[in-house]
């Protein structure tokens, strides 16, 4: 079964909605949107992983 191609615009909208739902910072959301909008062929799965990693990074305790 072939994967269904997802347009970059759809991925950027999805990245913004999910980033806001996960309470990510605006900077993190913008970076993920830029990656989804770049020439690289990112999949929906890749965007979901980026959101998860950004959420993990933002919620880690800060080391001094």
Task: List the chain domain ranges.
Answer: 8-58
The pTM for the full model equals 0.79
pLDDT of 7: 72
CA 39 distance to own-chain centroid: 15
Q: Are 15 and 37 in contact (CB under 8 A)?
A: no
pLDDT on residue 55: 95
Using alpha carbons, list the distances in angstroms from residue 53 to 1, 8, 28, 32, 46: 28, 20, 10, 11, 11
Query: Could you count the other beta carbons within 10 Å of the beta carbon of residue 12?
Result: 19
Q: What is the pLDDT of residues 9-64, one digit of tens each?
A: 788 889 999 999 999 999 999 999 988 887 666 788 999 999 999 999 999 887 77
């Amino acid at each position: 079964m072939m994967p269904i191609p997802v347009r970059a615009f759809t991925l950027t909208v999805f990245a913004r909605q999910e980033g806001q739902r996960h309470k990510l910072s605006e900077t993190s959301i913008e970076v993920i949107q830029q990656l989804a909008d770049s020439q690289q062929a990112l999949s929906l799965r890749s965007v979901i992983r980026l959101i998860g990693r950004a959420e993990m990074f933002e919620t880690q305790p800060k080391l001094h």
